[in-house]
Every structure is written in C-alpha cells, then in structure tokens.
C-alpha cells in the first residue's frame, strides 16, 4: 500500500520521539511505501483533489536524533489523492482557516475515492477542547462562553477553576484561578479579548498532581497503557511541552470505562486515532488532529503502539 502523509516539514520533526515517524517506521516494516506532502501542497484542479507529493524511504540504522533518517526516492509530482492506498492527515495545529480549507479538500477527495485518516469532516467537527461537551457526564463541570460575568459566576461557585483558550496547544494560555486570584479580571479580559473570544472554564481537578493521562484509542480500541504527563513542582500543566514528565502506566478501571464509552462512538465517525486527555476520573480533551505519545508508551512498556496503528490502518483502508 502506498501511504501519503500530510505533515509538517520533515526536517522539523524530532524523529526519535515523533509519533508520525513511528507510524512511518511501522508501515515500512510491514512492506508499505511512503510519500509526504505539506499542507500547502494540496490543490484542486478541474475538480480533482491532488497533492504535490514526494516519495521517500526511511534510512535503515539512521540516527533519529539527526536529520538524515529519510531520503527522497523520486522527484515530487502532482498525484490525485484517490491514487494512494491511504492518506494520513498529521499536520499539527494551529487549527486555523488554512487547516479548515485542507479538511474541506480532503473531504472532497474522499468523495472521489480517497481514504483519509482521520476522516476529514470528523477532524473538522471535533474541536479538541469543545468535543468533551458531547461526553459531559465523563467531564468535570465545564463552561464554554465569552461572557466574563458567567465565568466569574462559575469561578465563584467552584472557587478553583482552570481557564483556557479553545485553540491552544501544548498547555499555552492555561491559567488556574484559585479562590483569591487577585488578577482574575485581567486574566479573563486577556483570554476573552474583552469578551470577543470564547474560552473554556473547568473546575480544577486536584488529581493533576498524579498526571494528565494520554489514553490512545486506535481503531476503536484503547491502547492498554496511558502516558501520565506529570507536572513540574509548582506547575499546573502536565503537558510535555510545558515541562511535564511522561510516565507510562496501565489503564485503570476508570480509564477503561471512559474508553469503552468514547472509543466506539468516535471510531464509527472515521477517527482512527484519538488521544483522550484524562485527569483523575474526568476527560479534559479529545485530541483528533495529530495525537502523540506513541514512542514514550512503547519505550517504557514494550507495547508496539505504532504497530497497532499500522494494523488498524490496513483494516480500515481495505
């Protein structure tokens, strides 16, 4: 099977820990071939969705801490997306209008016979923070609004809350507002742009000190281990990008209960790979653009996450 990755520039990837690279390696190990394209390489000509794509191969034994882990095997050429056996959308956020346009083009390509994972419309229709509201009974008390008065009332009720932008990633823009937060007004004015931008507020979950767990769902099944991103001392955010330490651990009974509810529903919508963020007993995000933590879980537990992905892709693409 010829697999196209729509991805960020390959030289920018940290191949030794990048989940997309782990996917590539697992696919090559199973005999598949690879090409890549950037988001800006997508185009529509005479109604046909195409990509300026470049065939590549992975360099055996390459130092994954360097940049010579792949090489081009032919010049880039324009290829209709329907000619690939599978297309993997792994462009990282920001989820801006260019990203939205890409999902539209990929959706049109699907109508022309292309097999896109994750499903283009499903990616677009599952904003990663807002998506938890579909599973409100699995989430901590949550408010989504641009109305600062409502947020202040929510804060007064729960007295310890997290506020965050809807389009942030890696822990950016997240604030903890405790009962006596002296900068409450300034923080809310900044995050909401004085009431012009919608944000999310959630009751603070004290179990964050035990880690913000990433639970991977692949092909409608939960990987049996999560990666608990444990915050630095004095830090509220567990994100690895914010200095959190990743510790793999078996799923708890509650983790399995959450996965049993969420996984089949999202898989039925064409979401082959999903990353649930869980703190304590609560889902806090549903990541569908480019979920990570494949390598960390595999290295610490021996469970072949990327191999499980490759097998799930083969099943889904046939």
Catalytic positions: 129, 164, 214, 229, 237, 277, 285, 287
* Helix-, strand-, coil-residue percentages of the chain, each rounded to 5: 35, 30, 35
Give residue 131's region: left, alpha or beta (phi > 0; psi -120 to 50).
Answer: alpha
Axis-axis angle for helices 148-158, 184-191 (nearest 10): 130
Nearest to 312 by CA among 113, 92, 17, 30: 30
**C-alpha dihedral, 112 to 113 to 116 to 121, nearest 10°:** 50
| Alpha-carbon gap, residue 89 to 84, rounded angstroms | 13
| Alpha-carbon gap, residue 76 to 53, rounded angstroms | 5
| Alpha-carbon gap, residue 207 to 213, rounded angstroms | 10
Nearest to 231 by CA among 259, 253, 204: 204
Q: What 3-state DSSP class applies to 164?
A: strand
DSSP β-ladder status, 273-279 and 212-218: antiparallel
**For residue 62, what is the DSSP state?**
-
Q: What is the DSSP string of 269-318?
A: TT--EEEEEEETTEEEEEE-SS---HHHHHHHH---HHHHHHHHHHHHH-
Residue 7: exposed, middle, or buried by beta-carbon count in 10 A (0-12, 13-18, 19+)?
A: buried
Q: 174 is written with which tokens?
A: 């997240």
């Amino acid at each position: 099977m010829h697999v196209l990755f729509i991805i960020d520039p390959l030289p920018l990837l940290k191949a030794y820990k990048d989940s997309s690279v782990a996917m590539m390696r697992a696919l090559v190990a199973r005999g598949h071939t690879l090409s890549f394209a950037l988001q800006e390489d997508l185009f529509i000509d005479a109604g046909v969705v195409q990509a300026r794509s470049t065939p590549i191969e992975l360099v055996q034994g390459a130092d994954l801490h360097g940049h010579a882990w792949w090489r081009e095997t032919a010049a880039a050429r324009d290829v209709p997306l329907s000619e690939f056996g599978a297309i993997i959308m792994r462009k990282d956020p920001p989820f801006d209008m260019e990203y939205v346009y890409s999902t539209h083009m990929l959706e049109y390509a699907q109508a022309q016979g292309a097999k896109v994972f994750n499903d283009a419309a499903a990616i677009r229709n599952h904003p990663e923070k807002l998506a938890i509201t579909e599973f409100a009974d699995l989430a901590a008390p949550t408010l989504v609004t641009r109305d600062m008065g409502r947020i202040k009332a929510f804060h007064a009720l729960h007295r310890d809350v997290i506020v965050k932008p809807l389009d942030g990633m890696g822990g950016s823009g997240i604030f903890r507002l405790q009962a006596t937060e002296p900068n409450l007004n300034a923080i809310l004015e900044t995050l909401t742009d004085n009431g012009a931008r919608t944000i999310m507020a959630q009751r603070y979950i004290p179990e964050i000190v035990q880690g913000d767990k990433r639970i991977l769902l692949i092909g409608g099944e939960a990987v049996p281990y999560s990666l608990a991103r444990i915050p630095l001392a004095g830090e509220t955010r567990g994100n690895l990008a914010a200095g959190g330490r990743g510790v793999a651990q078996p799923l708890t009974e509650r983790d399995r209960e959450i996965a049993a509810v969420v996984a089949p529903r999202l898989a039925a919508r064409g979401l082959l790979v999903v990353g649930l963020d869980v703190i304590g007993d609560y889902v806090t995000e549903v990541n569908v653009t480019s979920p990570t933590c494949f390598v960390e879980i595999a290295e610490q537990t021996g469970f072949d996450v990327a191999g499980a992905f490759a097998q799930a892709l083969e099943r889904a693409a046939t």
